[in-house]
Structure 1
Amino acid sequence: MFATYLALFTLVVSHASAWFPGVQKQIFALDGTNLFNDTKLFNGNDTSQGNSISQRWLQASGKVRGVNLGSLFVFEPWLAGTEWSNMGCGSYNSEFDCVSALGQSTANSVFQNHWNTWITQSDITQMQSYGLNTIRIPVGYWMMESLVYSDSEHFPQGGLSYLQRVCGWASDAGFYIIIDLHGAPGAQVSQNSDTGQYASSPGFYADYQYDRATQFLSWLTTIIHSTNEFRNVGMIGIVNEPVQNPDTIGTLRSSYYPNAYSAIRNAESAAGVTSNNYVHVETMNALWGSGDPNQYMSNTNFMAYDDHRYIKWDSSVAVSQAAYISDSCNNNRNSDNETPTIVGEFSLSVPDDVQWTSGWDPTDNKSFYTQWFAAQVLSYEKNTNGWIFWTWKSQLGDYRWSYQDAVAAGVIPNNPGNVNQAACNGV
C-alpha cells in the first residue's frame, strides 16, 4: 500500500504543485489518506472532500511572513562585501563583471562554492523556527544557460541544481516559495548590481529582450511543474523593479506583461496543469511607479502584485522616528486595490546620511526599530496579503538589513506573531 501511496504522491507533485499562501495544501490518496500536509503554517478548516487526489485551494487565514534570499543567485556586493572579496570579485561591480574578469571556469567554481554555502539547510530550519512561512528567491535569466550570448554576456553557470536544492529544503519545511526574475536580459535598470550586470543604460525594454525573458519564464514554469523539489513554488515574479517612468517604457505593459503571462500559462497547458494549480504571475504594483500593470492585460486570472516599501528613499516622509512610525501605520500599501498584493521587500534601514547618527544608530535605538518593525508588519498584514523582509542575512554588521541579525538583537521577535500589537495605537 505504501508503494501505491508513494506512486500517487509522485504523480501529483510532478504535474501540479502551485498554491498560494493563506490556503491549506493537502494531497490525498484515493482512499482519503493524507499523504502530504503543510497545515502547520497555513492553518484553516479542513474542508477536503475525501476521495480527491489533490486539494490545493482550501481557504485558510494565514498571511505571508517571509524573507528574501538576497545575494544568493543574484549577488549584490554591497550586502556581502567579505564574501564578494573572498570570491575574487572585490574590485568588480556585478556578477557579469566578475565572471568576465575571472574567466568562465574559475568563476563557475567560486560561484558554485558561494551557492553551496550562503544559504544552507540549517538556514531554512532557522527560518522555520522563527515562524516564517515564505521565501522569495531572486534569480537571473542566465540560469537558463542557453539564453546567454556566449560571445558578449558573462554569468556563472550551474545555478539550477542549487536552486532545486534550496527549493527542496524549503518545500520539505512547508514554505511557500516565490521565484522572482531579478536580473532581466539587458538589465531592467542601469548601474545596479541587483540586475546581475552594472549596465550603463537599461537594455531590457526591447522586443528581442522581452522574448528572451518569456523564454526563461516558460522554461522555469515547466521545471516548477515537473520537478518535485519545486512543488511549493506558487508564484513567479516576471520582472523586479522596472524603471519608474511609465511613459518611456509603455511596451513593458503593452507587450511584455501580456506575453510573459501567456508564456507561463502556455507552459502550464503544455504540461497538463489544470487552472486550479496555476502559479500566480506577479508584477510590480501600480504604487511602484511603472504604470498600471493591468492596463493591457486581457486575463488577470491568478495574477499577484508586488509592493516594495523602503521609506529610506521616500523623500515625502520626514526623516524622524515619529514620521516613520506614522507612515508605516497609516500608509495603505493596497490603495491601488490590486489583489492579492504582497509587500515583497522592506527593511529597517534609514537614509544614509543619518543612519549612524545618535538618533538612528541601531545600537542605541533598539526600541524604535522594534516598534518600527511591528508597525510595518501589522500594517502590511492588515492591508495586504503579507510581507517579505529584505533580506535573510548580510555581512553589514547592521541588523536593519538582516532578519537573522535582527532576531539575534531582539529587535524582531523569534515569532512575528508576537510583535507588539499596540505599536500603532494612537499613531
Structure 2
Amino acid sequence: MKLSLLVYATLLIRGVNLGSLFIIEPWMTNDTCVSMGCDKTKSESDCVVALGQDAANNAFQKHWDTYITEQDLDDIKAYGLNTIRVPVGFWMLEDLIHDDEHFPQGGLKYLDRLAGWAADRNIYVILDLHGAPGAQDAKQPFTGQYVSEATFYTPPNYTRACKFLQFMTSRIHTTAAYRTTGMLEVVNEPQRNHPDLVSTYYATAYAQIRAIESKLNILDAHRLTIQFMDKAWGAGNAADVVGTNPKAGVAYDRHNYLKYANIAQTKDAYINASCATVLGDGGDTPTVVGEWSIAVGSKVQAQPQWDPTKEGNKEWYTRYWAAQVSAYEKGAGWVFWSWKTELGGNWRWSYKAAVAAGVIPKDLGEATGLAGC
C-alpha cells in the first residue's frame, strides 16, 4: 500500500539525501569523478561528452551499481532514519532527451532497485526532480548540466518536465518496488525571477500528476504527496495555485543552509539562528527541511576553532546539529545533505561520516536535550 498523505501526516521525516548518486556533483565526490574519468569536467553532461556515450554509460552504470548499496540502506535504518530523498534528472526517461543533449543512459533500473531496497526496509522515499530540462539554474552541477543560461523556463521544457513527472507517477503507482515512495518534488531550487514558474509550471505539474492518478483510479488516501519549494526560497508560493487545503496532498521544501545565511560568524550566532528557525511562511505547511548541513561559513571553516578534525570542536558541532533538528522537527521533519561525501575528515556535509566520528548520535531522541534551545 502506498504511504499516503494520511500516513505521512503522522510520520516525522528524519532522513538523508542520496546526493551524487544519480546526479554527480564534483565538489563532493572528487574521488568518484577521477575514477570515472570525469575529474576535468564540471557536470554529468560534460562527462558524457568527454567520455563518449558508450564509455559514459559503462562508467555511470558502474557508479550507480556501487555508490549506494544495501549496506548503506541498512546503516540508514540503524541510525534511526526513516526517509531518503533521491535527486534525479529528467533524463531518467530517455525519450525526453534531445539529440543535442548528452546524459548517461540506463539509470532507471538502478532507481527501481533503490526504491525496492528502501521499501524492503520500510524507508520512505522522496523522489526529487533535481535536474530539469534545460537546467533550472545556470552554472550549477546539481542540475546535471553546467550551462551559462538556464532555459528551463519555456513551454517546451515545462512540458518535458511534466512528462517526466507523469511517467514517474505512473511507475510509482504500478511498480511494487515503489510501495514506500510517497512524495514527488516537481523541481529543486529553481531560479527566483520567473513568475510563470508558479502560475504555469507548478499548476500544470500538480494537475497532470493528479490526472494520472485519476486515470489509474488511485484512492485519495493513496495519492502521492506533491512537493514544491516553499515561499522562503523566493521563487513564488505554490499555495497560490494549489491552495492550503490538506486534502490537496501538498508538502513544501525548505533548504536551510546556515553556512550561507547572513549571520555573524560565531558559534553562538549559529546556535541562535538554528533554534530560531520558523517554518510555514505563507501558509506553506507541512514543510520538510529537505536540505541542510552542519557546515559553517567559508571565511571561517578552515580556522582552528571550527576545524572538524579537532576533538575539542566536536561537542559544539553536535549541539549545532541538535539545534537544527530540534527546530526542524517542529515542522514535518528534515533530510540532511548528504548521506556520504568524499571530503576526507570534513564530515560537516556527510551524515554517515559524522555518525562514525561520534558527532551525530544514533539515538535521535537525544537532539532536544543536546540543542539547548
TM-score (norm: length of structure 2): 0.96
Name the counterpart of 1:129: 78
The C-alpha deviation readout for 1:385-417, integer Å capped at 9, x for no partner, is 000000000000211000000001111001222
Name the counterpart of 1:41: none
Name the counterpart of 2:267: 321
Name the counterpart of 1:19: 4
Would you say 1:387 and 2:352 are equivalent positions? no
Name the counterpart of 1:49: none
Q: What is the letter of the counterpart of residue 250 of structure 2? A: M
Q: Distance in 1 between matches of 2:21 and 2:203?
A: 29
Give how far 1:272 is off: 1.7
Does structure 1 conserve the Cα–Cα contact (< 8 Å) formed by 2:17 and 2:85? yes
1:173-192 correspondence runs (5 A): 173-192=121-140
Deviates more, 1:348-357 or 1:72-81: 348-357
**Which consecutive residues of structure 1, in runs of 5 or more, have no partner in the other structure?**
1-12, 24-56
Would you say 1:272 and 2:217 are equivalent positions? yes
Q: Distance in 1 between matches of 2:340 and 2:316?
A: 21
Would you say 1:117 and 2:76 are equivalent positions? no
Would you say 1:69 and 2:18 are equivalent positions? yes
Would you say 1:84 and 2:29 are equivalent positions? no
Give the alignment partner of residue 349 of structure 2, picking from 381, 384, 401.
401
Q: What is the letter of the counterpart of residue 367 of structure 1? A: E
Give how far 1:19 is off: 2.1
Name the counterpart of 1:35: none
Name the counterpart of 2:371: 423
SS of the residue corresponding to residue 14 of structure 2 reads strand
Q: Distance in 2 between matches of 1:295 and 1:222?
A: 26
Does structure 2 conserve the Cα–Cα contact (< 8 Å) formed by 1:19 and 1:233? no
1:43-54 correspondence runs (5 A): none
Give the alignment partner of residue 286 of structure 1, picking from 213, 231, 234.
231
SS of the residue corresponding to residue 296 of structure 1 reads helix
**Which consecutive residues of structure 2, in runs of 5 or more, have no partner in the other structure?**
none
Q: Distance in 1 between matches of 2:81 and 2:161?
A: 30
SS of the residue corresponding to residue 371 of structure 2 reads coil
Give how far 1:281 is off: 0.6
SS of the residue corresponding to residue 96 of structure 1 reads helix
The C-alpha deviation readout for 1:178-231, integer Å capped at 9, x for no partner, is 000000000000000000000101110111100000000000000000000001
Task: Work out the percentage of aligned pairs sharing the same amino acid.
Answer: 47
Does structure 2 conserve the Cα–Cα contact (< 8 Å) formed by 1:99 and 1:155? yes
Q: Distance in 2 between matches of 1:101 and 1:272?
A: 45
Q: Distance in 1 between matches of 2:78 and 2:277?
A: 30
Does structure 1 conserve the Cα–Cα contact (< 8 Å) formed by 2:137 and 2:149? yes
Q: What is the letter of the counterpart of residue 91 of structure 2? A: W
Does structure 2 conserve the Cα–Cα contact (< 8 Å) formed by 1:378 and 1:421? no
Does structure 2 conserve the Cα–Cα contact (< 8 Å) formed by 1:134 and 1:177? yes
Give the alignment partner of residue 108 of structure 2, picking from 136, 160, 174.
160
Q: Distance in 1 between matches of 2:162 and 2:232?
A: 24
Would you say 1:198 and 2:159 are equivalent positions? no
The C-alpha deviation readout for 1:248-299, integer Å capped at 9, x for no partner, is x011011000100011111111112111111011000001111222223368
SS of the residue corresponding to residue 336 of structure 1 reads helix
Would you say 1:297 and 2:242 are equivalent positions? yes
SS of the residue corresponding to residue 298 of structure 2 reads coil
Q: Distance in 1 between matches of 2:297 and 2:254?
A: 20
Larger-gyration structure (1/2): 1
Name the counterpart of 1:250: 195
Q: Distance in 1 between matches of 2:203 and 2:303?
A: 47
Give how far 1:359 is off: 2.0
Name the counterpart of 1:307: 254
The C-alpha deviation readout for 1:353-386, integer Å capped at 9, x for no partner, is 211101211123111100000000011102x100
Name the counterpart of 2:178: 230
Does structure 2 conserve the Cα–Cα contact (< 8 Å) formed by 1:237 and 1:282? yes
The C-alpha deviation readout for 1:80-125, integer Å capped at 9, x for no partner, is 1010111010100001101011111110000000000000000000
The C-alpha deviation readout for 1:22-76, integer Å capped at 9, x for no partner, is 83xxxxxxxxxxxxxxxxxxxxxxxxxxxxxxxxx7x74x411000000000110
Give how far 1:420 is off: 4.9
Q: Distance in 1 between matches of 2:72 and 2:243?
A: 41
Distance 1:213 1:223, change over 3 A: same
Q: What is the letter of the counterpart of residue 174 of structure 1? A: N
